[in-house]
Amino acid sequence: MNPCIALILLALIACCQARTLVVDTGDFGDAKTLSVAVLKASNGDAIEIHPGNYSGAIVDKRLNITARGQAVIEGMLAITAPGCRISDLTIKQRGKDPAVSLTTSDSQIAGCTISGIATGLDVTGDNNSIMGCRIDSPQGIEIFGANNDVLQSSISGSTAIRINGTKGCMISDCQISALQGIQIEDAGENDLLNNTLSGDGFGVVLTRSHSNNLSNNSFSRGYVSAIDVVDSASNNLTNNRITGGKVGISLRGSQSCNVTGNVCEKNERAGIFAEGASQNQLIDNNLSQNGNGILLQGCAENSLRHNQAYGNVYGISLRGSKKNALRENRLRENSYNLRIDSGQGQSGATNYEFYLQDIDQSNLVDDKPICYLISKVDLMAPENCGFLGLISCKNVSSANLTINNCSAGVLLVNSSKCNIKNSSISRAETGFFLLDSLACAVSNCSARDCLIGFGAESSTWCQFAYDQASNCSAEGFSADNGQGLSLLDCKALFCQTGISLHGSRQCRIQNCSANENQEYGLELLKSHDCTLLGNDAISSDRGIYLAGSNHCYLQANNATDNKVDGLSLLQLVYAELRNNTVLRNGQGIYLQSSHNVSIAGNNIGENSRFGLRMSSSKDCRISGNNIYDNRLAGANLVDCTGSLLYHNVFTDNGIQNAADNNQNQWDAGPVSGGNYWSDQPVFGNPSQQPHQIPGGGVDRYPFQDPWGWL
């Protein structure tokens, strides 16, 4: 080859090789501003920026721009050419535009420190990467293009990363500290891997998004929800670790998501929470020290398999949910291992539909199987159950159970003629619970340290017999909206209320003991046509309390040593109290706003205020009572009218035997006579010497002798 030609070719090759242009604020570079350097550069050139502060620029050529020392770009850096690499710069934007704008593809931002008063990076192009950067802006990174990656970066602000309407992006190995961590909206097939997030709002939010993968991320501090999946489908949430928020993982209106291998601990409401969610897979999750390990609310057809829930308030809660499948879950050392109920505010389905769950005995509660039987007939349930549920069963029996720490230890729903015997439950929300059931019986059983010992709701002709409830923080025995319930020879000790009936009719409480309870021994609210016979109600605030409960019959009950009232009767119509013992209470019998009440043959004495106190009541019949040694008065009638009081014995009551400020009748005429008064000797049974009642009443025919009418 001709030597001249060779020299010419070498010169041409040298001219085609990439150059490095230097940007320096002094006189030692190729340009004093980045914009001028970009103007001088050609595609493939490098620009080296020396320390100093420089204005922003538009990079519209394929360039490798890097800093040598502390080079600061003040203003927006807009990358509009593909294939650029920007590294080690500090970029500050004080205006409303993004600090860095990537409208192109195949570019890389590496090792930069980026801040703005609005947005750090705005990425609308595809196939770009942000690696090893430090970003601090209210809106850290906004991504609208596909297949963009954010790697090994530290991001802080109000919202760290927002991915909108795109796919194929990856956020990996980043440190994120923001009120809102990562928001993914209307997007799919994005990967969030190995990131560490902390904040007080939401960690990762998926909204109307599908087929995204969140794996091996770590969430801490006080997130409202660490992972919040809203109206989304087919997302994979695997092997994440979440601690210390309100909710760990939330599925709201979402379906067909895979939630596997996550560790959720110390979350206030739930480790995993789902609402209105369906056909999701919850597998091999480890849930500890949360409010709920797993809480499904208004959900259907989800699968829960191989989950470990321990040390939570509730292990697994199914509320207002149906047709969920539970297999091989392990619940232990939770305050309440398993909760299944209808939830609140549900409509459009009968209550018991929310109990139709597919739960087999591979699930364990404190190493005992969950026995959940649906539509079984004529069989004996196993004795080693850690939870027993009978749903739509008939003539199923169970005995000798020992169950602890469940929301309801024994749960009967829509069942009939089922019998539970000789069983013990402790530390449950409701030990034995009958819902919408018919003619079922619970006998010779005990419930202790529960919220409610024995409960029946909307059940008919069921029976509790020879059962004992003790140390229950609400009611020992409770019935709501039922009919024909019988409590026979039951005991309620050291509870808030011993026996409580609400809205129940034709119930019978017989030979029961409700002693040393805090508020009420026996309480009936709007419970009509009930019979209380031979019960003890001792050492509570109020012994027996009836309000709005008409046509009730109380006989041979013992209401003694109660702080306020032995018998409290409010707003009653046609009640009868006969042969009850009412001793050493604050007040013996207190009757208010009632009419047509009969109080007869009762022993009312030694009460610290009044034996019988009536207020705003009318047309009552008070007869045959022994009223004695009450500190203030034997009988005190205030604003009462039309009542008849006769054949009562008033003996040695404190300030006065009786007082009456209105129109009531204190005798039954000259033949039957009136009452016996220890404070006025008279002659004759009855006498013709009237006895004046303080306040204006008069007994025209008092008796000389106690019981002189017999």
Beta carbons of 406 and 426 less than 8 angstroms apart? no
- Chain segment 467-499, per-residue pLDDT in tens: 999 999 999 999 999 999 999 999 999 999 999
Over residues 666-695, the pLDDT tens digits come to 999 999 999 999 999 999 999 999 999 999
Domain count, the chain: 1
- Domain membership of residue 563 (yes or no) is no
CB atoms within 10 A of CB 674: 27
pLDDT at site 27: 81
At residue 435, the 3 state secondary structure works out as strand
In a domain, 99, yes or no: yes
Is-contact 308 285, C-beta < 8 A?
yes
The pLDDT assigned to 350 comes to 60
The boundaries of the domain holding residue 56 are 3-198
| Segment 365-387 mean pLDDT | 96
What CATH number is attached to the domain comprising 62? 2.160.20.10
At residue 696 the predicted structure's pLDDT band, cuts being 50, 70 and 90, is: confident
Q: What does the pLDDT read at residue 465?
A: 98
Q: What is the pLDDT of residues 413-437, one digit of tens each?
A: 999 999 999 999 999 999 999 999 9
Inside any domain, residue 158: yes
The pLDDT score that the predictor gives to residue 9 is 37
Give 258's contacts (C-beta < 8 A, 6+ positions apart): 234, 235, 236, 237, 238, 280, 281, 283
Name 636's Cβ contacts closer than 8 Å, sequence gap at least 6: 610, 612, 613, 614, 658, 659
CA separation for the pair 418, 453 (Å, rounded)? 18
Confidence check: pLDDT of 124 > 70: yes
Residue 286: pLDDT band with limits 50, 70, 90: very high
Q: Is residue 122 part of a domain?
A: yes
Is residue 70 in a domain?
yes
Beta strands 691-693 and 697-699: pairing type?
A: antiparallel
492-523 burial: b if 16+ Cβ within 10 Å, else e: bbbbbbbbbbbbbbbbbbbebbbbbbebbbbb
Contact 625, 648 (CB under 8 A): yes
| Residue 77 is assigned to a structural domain of this protein | yes
Looking at the domain assignment, is residue 138 inside a domain? Answer: yes
CB 75 within 8 A of CB 93: yes
pLDDT value for 26: 86
Q: What is the pLDDT of residues 572-583, one digit of tens each?
A: 999 999 999 999
What angle is formed at CA 584 by the lines to CA 578 and CA 585, rounded to 5 degrees? Answer: 80
With contact defined as beta carbons under 8 Å apart, do 579 and 556 qualify? yes
Residues 6 or more apart whose Cβ sits within 8 Å of residue 539: 515, 516, 517, 560, 561, 562
Kindly state the average pLDDT of the residues 534-560: 97
| CB distance 685 to 709 below 8 Å | yes
Q: Would residue 163 count as lying in a domain?
A: yes
